[in-house]
Amino acid sequence: MMLADVFRASEFGREDFTTNERDTPLVLQFAANNYKDFSEAAEIVAPYVDGLDLNCGCPQKWAIKEGYGSYLLDKPEKVADMVRAVKNRVNIPCSIKIRKLNNPSDTIELVRRAEAANVDWITIHGRTKKQSSSEPVDMDIIKLVKQVATVPVIANGGVFTFEQASLLSQYTGVDAVMSARGLLQNPALFSGYDVTPLQCIKKFGIYQTKTIKSWSLPASKSSSSRVHQEKAKKEFQTWNIAALFGGLVSGSYLRDK
């Protein structure tokens, strides 16, 4: 997630966005609280991404205070204005990531308004903004959204195993399932593994090395941006693969192999 107002305002504000030609399909999520920031940021980044998403789910206090994330959940008109502005300005898909609202009819209203603004797909996290991430996900509201929506729906929340992903998919009939914490623990989750196999970690290491060699970012004339790109490249080179995979294997084990 990147802040649209910061992103659109200056090159300095875009420094945390880096990509390369292998990084596709890539969907960039913005936090925005008005259509102007969102659509201007969208126009700047459109040549480098395959799609855009509007964050309507972040429950953090700072975000709500600024009018971002889950603040937007009960502002369907505002969300629709933002989606419409982006769809009118750039020719790439635009989705929204929402949460369950307290009332199913409010959730459906948000979905319908976004659809009227030509949203391309909707990701729904089956917990309200007040619920903790340890609470069970409401699969019924996700199922209802899938039943009424005309665009593809992605279900999110509480998926830590392939079996849980299959169950959520079958129960709700959604088009896709998203995992966050589960994937951080086990990046091979969607291939059906309970634990990420060493072979996969090795493959990532090889890919990492190749990507360093072929590193290429949109050219920048600004010296501060060049410095940042060099810094990002260095950080990428020194990533500790073991740490990335949640300590599944130790760094010394990988070096020995």
Give the Cα separation of 101 and 82 in Å (integer).
Answer: 19
| Catalytically active residues, by annotation | 58
Q: Is 64 an interacting residue with respect to ligand FMN (CB under 6 A)?
A: no
Within 13 Å of residue 243, how many CA atoms lie on the same side as its CB? 4
Q: Is 166 an interacting residue with respect to ligand FMN (CB under 6 A)?
A: no
Q: Residue 230 Cβ, how far from ligand FMN at the closest point, in Å?
A: 25
Q: What is the DSSP letter of 51?
A: E
Stretch that binds ligand FMN, among 163-171, 174-182, 220-228, 241-249 (CB under 6 A): 174-182
Q: Residue 131 Cβ, how far from ligand FMN at the closest point, in Å?
A: 10
With CB under 6 A as the rule, give the number of residues binding ligand FMN.
15
| Helices assigned H by DSSP within the chain | 4-9, 35-45, 61-65, 76-89, 104-116, 139-148, 162-172, 181-185, 198-213, 223-237, 241-244, 251-256
Q: Is 55 an interacting residue with respect to ligand FMN (CB under 6 A)?
A: yes
Which CB atom, from 125 or from 228, has the smaller least distance to ligand FMN? 125
Query: Which of 84, 113, 125, 146 lies at the binding interface for ligand FMN (CB under 6 A)?
Result: 125
Q: Is 176 an interacting residue with respect to ligand FMN (CB under 6 A)?
A: no
The radius of gyration of the chain from alpha carbons, rounded to an integer in Å, stands at 20
Stretch that binds ligand FMN, among 111-119, 173-181, 208-216, 221-229 (CB under 6 A): 173-181
Give the Cα separation of 136 and 130 in Å (integer).
Answer: 13
Which CB atom, from 203 or from 247, has the smaller least distance to ligand FMN? 247
Contacts with 186 (C-beta within 8 Å, 6 or more apart), sequence order: 160, 193, 194, 195, 196, 246
Give the Cα separation of 184 and 175 in Å (integer).
Answer: 22
Q: Is 97 an interacting residue with respect to ligand FMN (CB under 6 A)?
A: yes
Which positions lie near ligand FMN, rule CB under 6 A? 1, 29, 55, 57, 97, 125, 133, 156-159, 179-182
